[in-house]
Structure 1
Amino acid sequence: MSTSTPPSGLDPALAAGNRRALAGYAARHFLWHCEGGVAHITLSRPARKNPLTFDSYAELRDLFRALQHAVDVKAVVLSGAGGNFCSGGDVHEIIGPLVQLKAPELLMFTRMTGDLVKAMRACPQPIVAAIDGVCAGAGAILAMASDLRLGTARAKTAFLFNRVGLAGCDMGACAMLPRIIGQGRASELLYTGRSMGGEEGLQWGFFNRLCAPEAVVDEALQLAREIAAGPSFANGITKTMLHQEWNMGVDQAIEAEAQAQAICMLTEDFRRAYEAFVAKQRPVFQGN
């Protein structure tokens, strides 16, 4: 990870510790490509429907944490290879070893998986998930933790934890899923572990829209490009407030938004938008 050139007037030591370039990141346990401010993460174990391992969990957690400081990534697309999104934790490389562990090591694992969701919610870049085929267990959680979800009619999303003898309260599911699709619908999925089809997911509000299987990744990338072309600092504030306001009363939220919006009014992008409007041009945002 290289350090980006600091803007004029910014102390190099401050920039070195808080701003970095990630477009050239070399992923080890999944695919990574970044172009034009849009990063594309592809879970790439298609022969087994792209399951997660201890290694990929940890690398994804660390990467999303690093994205908090990235200056060259404005939006992220998350997809799977081979016509499936993610089948969850690898049965042989995760589930098998877990049954041999004691409580301290099990808690280490569950905290690591939860930290991945925290990192996804904390990074300022909006995350667009492109979901086709199997989206199960931890894969369903990754979809849930994304900001936007494009699916296909053949997508099958299953929070199947109770089918393996576990509670549905995994990686924030009991907190986040009801806010996306409603308490009753979330309860049904978490108590039964059944699959939610693509059309059902669209009707329930889990998916923003459905796409053809051959087009879902391209449409997710296009949506990410549209977001990346916007005022990225302001988009990061929007994501932060969407997450933080879950724990606020209405009056507290209104005050927090007043403070957040006042900060955004200090940005050069706000000035650029005004000047472009006056000149009857389209603004070109630069994220500052």
Structure 2
Amino acid sequence: MSDRFTITLPVAEYAPAHFRLAVDGKVATVTLDRPERKNPLTFESYAELRDLFHALRHEEAVKAVVVTGAGGNFCSGGDVFEIIQPLLERDMAGLLDFTRMTGDLVKAMRACPQPIVAAVDGVCAGAGAIVAMASDLRIGTQDAKVAFLFNRVGLAGCDMGACAILPRIVGQGRASELLYTGRAMTGEEAERWGFFNRLAAPDAVLDEARALAGDLADGPTFANAMTKRMLHMEWDMGVDQAIEAEALAQSVCMQTEDYRRAFDAFAAKRRPAFEGN
């Protein structure tokens, strides 16, 4: 389970064994594809997703990523019989090996430079809610049901970074409620609380996520990657330290060709065509 898969670069040529992957131009779409079970994760799909996002750190052609689920649901979390039941037979070392591996998926999602847009419909529970949480942006539907239901199976809410990341999205009090009770947020509630950036119709949510990812992929992608990195790094900084870090980051971005392209376009009264360098 802990062994790394070999991810072929370029990513467009990689054929995953445990989910679908499609690359259209500069946007990669990852589709969790076990619709008959509401797209649960297995040991193997956790690891392969981790390795894909790790590989994306070195992928230059893909500039944005969409994550979604097949058949009207996002992801129902860890498969009861393929993950939860086998874990009952593991010793402490084996359990820690698993929990560190699942956490490595979130680390890989946060470390890859591409913005990740989650398109969420239907069930989005457990580890599925974590995958949506670990994305940079989330478009949901009225029918979405987002639940961090770890306490429902006798576990703590502190799973895969939830206690660190979720309060920064919805606030400490709301995150506490969700993690203590395991109850589901409705789509409207998730938007109102800031978990979803916006809502879309179920038949349009994937298209809207891809359109948003496409806009990001056509933007100044070096600068977008810097924004993502600084959003992550500044969690552990004081204000003065963050201001200095941003001064350094912005001075780097000011040396890019995209910065000059933006000025030239403004001077010529036309829209800039960014190239990500």
TM-score, length-scaled by structure 1: 0.93
| Alignment match, 2:50 | 61
| Alignment match, 1:9 | none
* Structure-1 separation of matches of 2:98 and 2:10: 29
| Alignment match, 2:214 | 225
Structure 1: runs of 5 or more not aligned = 3-19
1:161 aligns with 2:150: yes
| Alignment match, 1:286 | 275
1:241 aligns with 2:230: yes
| Alignment match, 1:145 | 134
| Alignment match, 1:113 | 102
* Structure-2 separation of matches of 1:278 and 1:35: 32
| Alignment match, 1:7 | none
* Structure-1 separation of matches of 2:264 and 2:16: 40
Mapping for residues 124-203 of structure 1, pairs under 5 Å = 124-203=113-192
* Structure-2 separation of matches of 1:272 and 1:203: 37
Mapping for residues 233-272 of structure 1, pairs under 5 Å = 233-272=222-261
| Per-residue deviation, 1:23 | 2.1
Match for 1:21: what amino acid? P
* Structure-2 separation of matches of 1:36 and 1:250: 38
Q: Deviations over 1:190-238 (max 9, x none)?
A: 0110111001101101000000000000000000000000011110000
| Alignment match, 1:8 | none
| Alignment match, 2:193 | 204
Match for 1:188: what amino acid? E
| Alignment match, 1:123 | 112
Match for 2:33: what amino acid? S
SS of 2:119's partner is strand
Instruction: Work out the percentage of aligned pairs sharing the same amino acid.
Output: 72
* Structure-2 separation of matches of 1:159 and 1:40: 24
SS of 2:185's partner is strand
Mapping for residues 91-110 of structure 1, pairs under 5 Å = 91-110=80-99
* Structure-1 separation of matches of 2:40 and 2:29: 18
SS of 1:213's partner is coil
| Alignment match, 2:22 | 33
SS of 2:124's partner is strand
Which runs of at least 4 in structure 1 moved beyond 2 Å after TM superposition?
A: none
* Structure-2 separation of matches of 1:59 and 1:21: 16
TM-score, length-scaled by structure 2: 0.96
Match for 2:66: what amino acid? V
* Structure-2 separation of matches of 1:278 and 1:26: 45
Mapping for residues 11-22 of structure 1, pairs under 5 Å = 20-22=9-11
| Alignment match, 1:213 | 202
SS of 2:11's partner is coil
| Alignment match, 1:52 | 41
Match for 2:264: what amino acid? E
| Per-residue deviation, 1:280 | 1.6
Match for 2:43: what amino acid? F
| Per-residue deviation, 1:35 | 1.1
Match for 1:126: what amino acid? P
| Per-residue deviation, 1:174 | 0.5
Match for 1:197: what amino acid? T
